[in-house]
Amino acid sequence: MKLIKCIVRPNKVDEVKDALEKIGISGMTVTEVRGHGKQKGHTAIYRGKEYNVSLLPKMQIEVVVADTVVEDAIKAVVQSARTGEIGDGRVFVLPVEQTYRIRTGEKDSL
Amino acid sequence: MPDPIGPAGADATSFSQSALSPAAALDEARRGLCDEILRGQGGRAALGRFSDRFDGILRQLIAAAPRIQQPLTVVAIGGYGRRQLCLHSDIDLLLLFGGHLGDAEERVLRAILHPLWDLGLVVGHQVREIEEFGRLEVDNPEFLMALVDARLVGGDRELFDRFEDAFHHAGTHAHVIGALNTLIDSRHARFNDTLYQLEPDVKEAPGALRDLTAMRWIAALTDPSLLRRGPEESASLDDAEDFLLRVRSILHLESKRNHNQLGHSLQEKAADVLGYPGTLPQQRVERLMSDYFRHARVVMRGLAWTRKAAPVPVGPNLGRTSDGIGFIDLHRAAAEPKTWLAAFQGAIDGDCPVSDATLACIRQHAGHFEVENFFPTSEERAALLKFLRPAPGLYARLSEMHDCGLLGRMFPPFQAITYRVVRDFFHKYTVDEHTLLTIRNLERLITDETPDRQRFASLLWDLTAPELLVLALLLHDVGKWRDDDHHLESVRMARDMFQRLGLAPEQRDAVEFLIANHLAMSQVAFRRDTEDPDIVRQFAELVGVEERLRMLCLMTLADVEAVSLETLTPWRAELLWRLFVDTYNQLTHGYGDEPIDAGQAGSGELLAGRPPELSEADIAHFLQGLPRRYLQLFTRDAIYGHVRLSRDIRPDEVHLSVEQKGNAWELTVVTLDKPFLFSNISGVLASFGMDILRGHAMTNPNGLVLDVFQFTDQERFLELNPGAIKQMFGVLNDVVSGRVSVADRLQGRARSLFHRRPVHVGSVVRSDNTSSTRYTIIDIIAADALGLLYRISRVMSLNGCDVDLVLIATEGHRAIDVFHITKAGRKLSDTDQLELTAALQQMLEEGYETD
């Protein structure tokens, strides 16, 4: 099992969700986050005041998937979240040792 | 002089006595009163009769006075006005004229007053022109109190009615009561705050006549029913008054003067005259004094309760008590729905609720009335818009109005969403409450001091008509009684309200735009890629001008936050703010690249609806090449006015119009472009002491210049001087044509005004050569000061730059100006930019250069 953590543009969340659902991944956690990678943001100026926008609003989508669908999932995310411009985001893949269902206490196997 | 004795003021009996001379009539009246006093009956009834007989004497004098052209009314005030004239009381009179006083009026005054003085009377007379009652005489509280008892004795009744109308309004009443309370406290303090005086002053002491009068004044000016509802029976108060007056009459008779202290030596006489039993004088005196203290206690209790219970007048039939703002006469209010909004406005102004009794009254009667009953005239409709200005307490008052059924009657579309449930994953409240919460969120911006909210609050301060935003919020979801396309249905329903509220076309357009697009900004901010310049450009195109952007941004913020406690996260607020800033910069920096072309849709409508005297060519010639935002900034009528000004303009000519708009003036200037033009025009305004607040300057490719300035005239030069506008226009013509140097005109002002140090605001000068393809943009933020625009634009002209477009704004003490400039028809080079920004910075930091 793998945890796929995607940082994407806020306006791309719906497209990423749709793409994942198309390949059978429907459970996910979506979080509003702020940060930056190579894209350092820019300085916004309103009426002479500078607003530091180095931390950019992004959305984080987390899904846990079976090893067999990791590649498809990554492909779906990358294709749906890409604009080709700096700031499209990142995908991280992390190993997951075990998962449990809280309601039943059962060990889960995807 | 019209009818010297008002028909309603005449008393037939007393007037018939006018066969006697004034002296004989006075003697006879006094003898009659003395007889009654000696019988122990010199109380209310006897003094009323004496007052009436004195009225007769006065009318005789009025009738004998010379005739004058203007109306005169003679008014009894104070104790005489109350018909409680004692044997040696002063005669308090108001002699009121309908116009200015001249020699003829002086003769009339002498004819009335001299005989009174000859009779040995002490006359407390006040002479006024009716116009003087337009201003409250705050420095003369005793006079204002005496006017509460004003009673027409003779002269012009219509003038008397005008006086009553001028005097009796909430502001005066509140002032009189405030002054009265102060005087009561200081008077009581002189008597050590106790009524138990062994030798009491029956006029001044606590519990004596002045306190009775004070109680009656408070009731008369606030709620007459107080006298019935207090701890003392009305009859007990009448008894107390009659007793005190009978004693006072004896004191006047015995001392032969205006003496009111019931000293030991006079107590025996008073006890005898009033027939107190007892074999020894001491026994009779004790019974008299026992009665005195009993009556004085009644008066004190009544006064204390009245002072506590009396509402503070805040408007016609409106007062404030510990329960909040409420109608004084509920029965009367129930039939006057147009007065109801004033209760809620009063509650906002007074930072208190509307009283339960008033809400219950409205709840009971609201269903009987329609929109037009609440807003029958433009006055009530203007009051509604004032009420809707965001202020602490607005949500609470609107909730009260909703709870008692008033909101749905005033705004019928709102009725459709009362208790309306829309089931989705986001909304946590019914549609009506969601709507009211949007207004609460806006209102909270006023007091929220967190930096995240302060930036949005700054947008609220910049709005010229924030009430339109609140109106839009109130109506934005009324279409949700349907399940689909609610924003379109909301617009349809709102249009009906616009009609009924008599909104001006530009007000309707603004509110309709906000309702129709209330979801647009959140859709772009949260769902679109706002780093894409095209997305921002499209959104800027939708909103058009900064005012609408500010309103839509605030509307979005308030709307999202009202969905649930969790909806407006800091993350979303940040996205919204970024979209706002990017769009604002697009609107103010990019608009020069978007000129009106021949096929512009807006101009097509303009051509179709043009007045007959304007040809299509006139309009097209004027519009072509101006920035497209021009069409969104101005109403059609304003545009037609600009076109008229632009016709037949020749070099060195200036076509001008000016009009007062609220507290500011708006000057429109149309002329042909030339070097130093903008600085010359702004310099002329500065030379007249005008402080420019807002404005736009635009130039079309034909060299036609349109400048619109909104400015304040702190010295009220234009208002107070009939020829001032003509003079200002003359100077503008002379300066633009080169006949007069603006620098010369400014010499006189330079020392007095330019050298006033403005409030310290860090100056910012920023040059931007990327936002526009055609212009270099100079952003300037500096402390607002008279002549600032002149100095800035002059530095630009001295550096060889042409000022093509200007946006002028003021935010508190900061001037925020955006100049679109070129040099020899092109954007500035890097070197030019550096030189210009350095010169501007130096001028702002040091210079008060006038030449």
Q: How many other CB atoms sit within 10 Å of the CB of residue B379?
A: 9
- Non-local (6+) Cβ contacts of B247 within 8 A are B202, B262, B270, B274, B292
**Mean pLDDT to the nearest integer, B343-356:** 94
Cβ contacts of B585 on chain A, cutoff 8 Å: 44-46
Kindly state whether A33 is in contact with chain B, defined as any CB-CB distance less than 8 angstroms: yes
Tokens of B510: 């603004």
Buried-state track B542-559, b at ≥16 Cβ within 10 A, e below 16: bbbbbbbbbbbbbbbbbb
Kindly state whether A57 is in contact with chain B, defined as any CB-CB distance less than 8 angstroms: yes
**What local confidence, expressed as pLDDT, does residue B1 receive?**
40
Using CA coordinates, name the residue in chain A closest to B579: A44
**What local confidence, expressed as pLDDT, does residue B9 receive?**
39
Tell me how long chain B is.
851
- What counts of helices (H) and strands (E) characterise chain B? 40, 15
What's the pLDDT tens digit per position in A1-55? 999 999 999 889 999 999 999 999 988 999 988 887 765 556 667 766 666 666 7
Q: Distance of CA B116 to CAs B77, B119, B674, B704, Å? A: 16, 5, 76, 75
Give percent above pLDDT 70 in chain B. 94
| pLDDT reading at B11 higher than 80 | no
Cβ contacts of B582 on chain A, cutoff 8 Å: 44
- Nearest in space to B727 (alpha carbons), one of B673, B679, B689, B697: B689
**Min distance B742 CA to chain A CA atoms (Å):** 30
Whether residue A14 and residue B527 make contact (CB cut-off 8 A), yes or no, is: yes
Using CA coordinates, name the residue in chain A closest to B584: A46
What three-state secondary structure class fits B748?
A: helix
Considering only CB atoms, A48 lies closest to which of B526, B577, B779, namely B779
What's the pLDDT tens digit per position in B576-589? 999 999 999 999 98
CA–CA gap between residue A40 and residue B492 (Å, rounded): 46
Kindly state whether B569 is in contact with chain A, defined as any CB-CB distance less than 8 angstroms: yes
Q: Distance of CA B288 to CAs B217, B272, B291, B727, B801, Å? A: 28, 9, 5, 78, 96
**Mean pLDDT to the nearest integer, B252-256:** 95
**What local confidence, expressed as pLDDT, does residue B28 receive?**
95
What three-state secondary structure class fits B363?
A: helix
CATH code of domain B12-168: 3.30.460.10
**Min distance B434 CA to chain A CA atoms (Å):** 24
* 8 A C-beta contact, residue B815 and residue B632: no
- Nearest in space to B325 (alpha carbons), one of B278, B271, B362: B362
**What local confidence, expressed as pLDDT, does residue B758 receive?**
52
Cβ contacts of A51 on chain B, cutoff 8 Å: 577, 581
Using CA coordinates, name the residue in chain A closest to B815: A47
Q: Which of A15, A16, A18, A46 is the mutation pick for testing B, counting most B CBs within 10 A? A: A46
| pLDDT reading at B5 higher than 70 | no
Tokens of B314: 């805040």
CA–CA gap between residue B595 and residue B700 (Å, rounded): 9
Angle at B506 between CA B502 and CA B511, to 5 degrees: 80
**What local confidence, expressed as pLDDT, does residue B763 receive?**
85
Using CA coordinates, name the residue in chain B closest to A81: B529
Kindly state whether B531 is in contact with chain A, defined as any CB-CB distance less than 8 angstroms: yes
Tell me how long chain A is.
110
Whether residue B766 and residue A45 make contact (CB cut-off 8 A), yes or no, is: yes
Of A23-37, B431-445, B752-766, the one with minimum mean pLDDT is B752-766
Q: Which of A7, A8, A9, A11 is the mutation pick for testing B, counting most B CBs within 10 A? A: A11
B3 φ/ψ angles, rounded to the nearest 5 degrees: -5, 100
Considering only CB atoms, B531 lies closest to which of A45, A46, A87, namely A87
Whether residue A45 and residue B781 make contact (CB cut-off 8 A), yes or no, is: no
* 8 A C-beta contact, residue B87 and residue B257: no
**Mean pLDDT to the nearest integer, A48-73:** 84
**Domains of chain A as residue ranges with CATH:** 2-98 (3.30.70.120)
Kindly state whether A87 is in contact with chain B, defined as any CB-CB distance less than 8 angstroms: yes
Long-range CB pairs of B414-422 (<8 Å, 24+ gap) are B414/B474, B414/B475, B414/B478, B416/B478, B416/B481, B416/B493, B417/B477, B417/B478, B417/B480, B417/B481, B420/B480, B420/B481, B422/B480, B422/B483
Considering only CB atoms, A46 lies closest to which of B526, B531, B584, namely B584
Cβ contacts of B577 on chain A, cutoff 8 Å: 51
Considering only CB atoms, A57 lies closest to which of B571, B581, B585, namely B571
The whole-model pTM stands at 0.71
Q: Which fold has domain B193-310?
A: Four Helix Bundle (Hemerythrin (Met), subunit A) (1.20.120)
Angle at B331 between CA B328 and CA B337, to 5 degrees: 90
**What local confidence, expressed as pLDDT, does residue B209 receive?**
97
Whether residue A46 and residue B585 make contact (CB cut-off 8 A), yes or no, is: yes
Q: Which of A47, A54, A59 is the mutation pick for testing B, counting most B CBs within 10 A? A: A47
Of A4-8, A67-71, B137-141, B674-678, the one with minimum mean pLDDT is B137-141
Q: Give the single-character DSSP code of B628.
A: T
Tokens of B174: 């509140």
**Min distance B580 CA to chain A CA atoms (Å):** 9
What's the pLDDT tens digit per position in B61-117? 999 999 999 999 999 999 999 999 999 999 999 999 999 999 999 999 999 999 999
CA–CA gap between residue B785 and residue B691 (Å, rounded): 8
**What local confidence, expressed as pLDDT, does residue A52 receive?**
62
Cβ contacts of B781 on chain A, cutoff 8 Å: 47-48
Amino acid at B714: Q
| pLDDT reading at B303 higher than 60 | yes
Whether residue A45 and residue B578 make contact (CB cut-off 8 A), yes or no, is: no
What three-state secondary structure class fits A41?
A: coil
What's the pLDDT tens digit per position in B451-481? 888 999 999 998 989 999 999 999 998 888 7
**What local confidence, expressed as pLDDT, does residue B208 receive?**
97
Kindly state whether B815 is in contact with chain A, defined as any CB-CB distance less than 8 angstroms: no
Q: What is the 3-state secondary structure (H, E, C) of B675-743?
A: CCHHHHHHHHHHHCCCEEEEEEEEECCCCEEEEEEEEECCCCHHHHCCCHHHHHHHHHHHHHHCCCCHH
CA–CA gap between residue B691 and residue B711 (Å, rounded): 5
Q: What is the largest CA-CA distance in chain A?
A: 58
Domain assignments of chain B as residue spans, ordered by start: 12-168, 193-310, 332-410, 619-845
- Non-local (6+) Cβ contacts of B542 within 8 A are B517, B520
CA–CA gap between residue B116 and residue B58 (Å, rounded): 9
**Min distance A57 CA to chain B CA atoms (Å):** 6
A48 Rama sector, left if φ>0, alpha if ψ -120 to 50, beta otherwise: left
Tokens of B392: 């602490």
What's the pLDDT tens digit per position in B648-672? 888 888 999 999 887 889 999 999 9
Question: Looking at the DSSP assignment, which residues form a beta bridge with residue A2?
Answer: A65, A95
Kindly state whether A107 is in contact with chain B, defined as any CB-CB distance less than 8 angstroms: no
**What local confidence, expressed as pLDDT, does residue B720 receive?**
85
Tell me the average pLDDT of chain B: 89
* 8 A C-beta contact, residue B645 and residue B670: yes
- Non-local (6+) Cβ contacts of B105 within 8 A are B68, B70, B72, B97
Using CA coordinates, name the residue in chain B closest to A11: B527
Using CA coordinates, name the residue in chain A closest to B574: A57
> When comparing pLDDT for B232 and B525, which is higher?
B525
What three-state secondary structure class fits B349?
A: helix
**Mean pLDDT to the nearest integer, B806-818:** 86
Of the pLDDT bands very low, low, confident and very high (cuts 50, 70, 90), residue B6 is very low
**What local confidence, expressed as pLDDT, does residue B12 receive?**
36
- Nearest in space to B291 (alpha carbons), one of B378, B370, B200: B200
CA–CA gap between residue B98 and residue B70 (Å, rounded): 6
**Min distance B537 CA to chain A CA atoms (Å):** 16
Kindly state whether B546 is in contact with chain A, defined as any CB-CB distance less than 8 angstroms: no
* 8 A C-beta contact, residue B332 and residue B297: no
- Non-local (6+) Cβ contacts of B836 within 8 A are B767, B778, B795, B796, B799, B801, B828
Give percent above pLDDT 70 in chain A. 85
Amino acid at B371: V
**Min distance A67 CA to chain B CA atoms (Å):** 31
**Min distance A11 CA to chain B CA atoms (Å):** 4
**Min distance A70 CA to chain B CA atoms (Å):** 27
